[in-house]
Amino acid sequence: MKIEEIREELKNAAPERLPEQLAYYAEDDRPGVKKLLEQYQRKYDRYQKELERIENMRFFEKKYGEYGAICGIDEVGRGPLAGPVVTCGVILPKDCRILYVNDSKKLSEKKREELYDIIYREALAVSIGIESPETIDEINILQATLKAMKSAIDNLKVQPDLVLADAVHIPDLSCKQVAIIKGDAQSISIAAASIIAKVTRDRMMLEYDKLYPEYGFSSNKGYGTEQHIRALKKYGPTPIHRRSFIQHFIDER
């Protein structure tokens, strides 16, 4: 075969089939082929490493495997000066191994968007909980977050037998829950929830940017960047600003 044909064959091969194809061409002495084999051996090694990482992220799902439906829950948006807090509950199939799922903060925007579609397609149930800036101001950000988490769990089309949460205890749940420190980096279910919550909130902030372009919400997502604070001091707060978060930057007397 021509080298370009081999390149195309390796390029289109499923990762799990690469060892078989690499072995098939192992006796080909052409330098171009050897270079290709080295390149795709590295690709396969990365694939194996990712499989191992994902398997490690299933530790808690396997530890509590006697429970039927396991829900991972996470939040996005506790720190911004503007916009809602968004939570997500995700129930994945028992044997789910979606590659590259990770704490949403460790992923690029492009990868989060890709995984968002895959998670929705693979999950048994996904539910979003949202609490407004008004609620955040009224009951504080922690309580608003817990309320949004409870709402997300209650609205799942499959009710969970166990909830894995990222370092919080959610009041009034009817099922067992386990709080995991840095859970979005240690549980595939929590990580999947963090991705859905992050993409959902980011899309909301892009829409708010169209309404209030001066504040740079499309880039800062409501966080207190220098541009955002300058705009806040110049134009004052919008309806989506959290009054309890911006007292140091404005004077509303």
pLDDT tens column, 170-217:
999 999 999 999 999 999 999 999 999 999 999 999 999 999 999 999
How far is 70 from 208, CA to CA, in rounded Å? Answer: 34
Residue 122 is predicted with a pLDDT of 98
Which pTM was predicted? Answer: 0.92
Sign of the dihedral through C-alpha 158, 105, 119, 97: negative
Can you list the domains of the chain with their CATH numbers?
A: 3-57 (no CATH), 60-207 (3.30.420.10)
For every residue of the chain, DSSP letters joined together read: --HHHHHHHHHTS-GGGHHHHHHHTTT---HHHHHHHHHHHHHHHHHHHHHHHHHHHTHHHHHTTTSSSEEEEEEE-SS-SBS-EEEEEEE--TT---TT---GGGS-HHHHHHHHHHHHHH-SEEEEEEE-HHHHHHH-HHHHHHHHHHHHHHT-SS--SEEEEES---TT-SSEEEEETTGGGT-HHHHHHHHHHHHHHHHHHHHHHHH-GGG-HHHHTT---HHHHHHHHHH---TTB-GGG-TTT----
Q: pLDDT (tens digit, 0 to 9) for every residue of the chain, 253 residues total?
A: 899 999 999 999 999 999 999 999 999 999 999 999 999 999 999 999 999 999 999 999 999 999 999 999 999 999 999 999 999 999 999 999 999 999 999 999 999 999 999 999 999 999 999 999 999 999 999 999 999 999 999 999 999 999 999 999 999 999 999 999 999 999 999 999 999 999 999 999 999 999 999 999 999 999 999 999 999 999 999 999 999 999 988 865 4
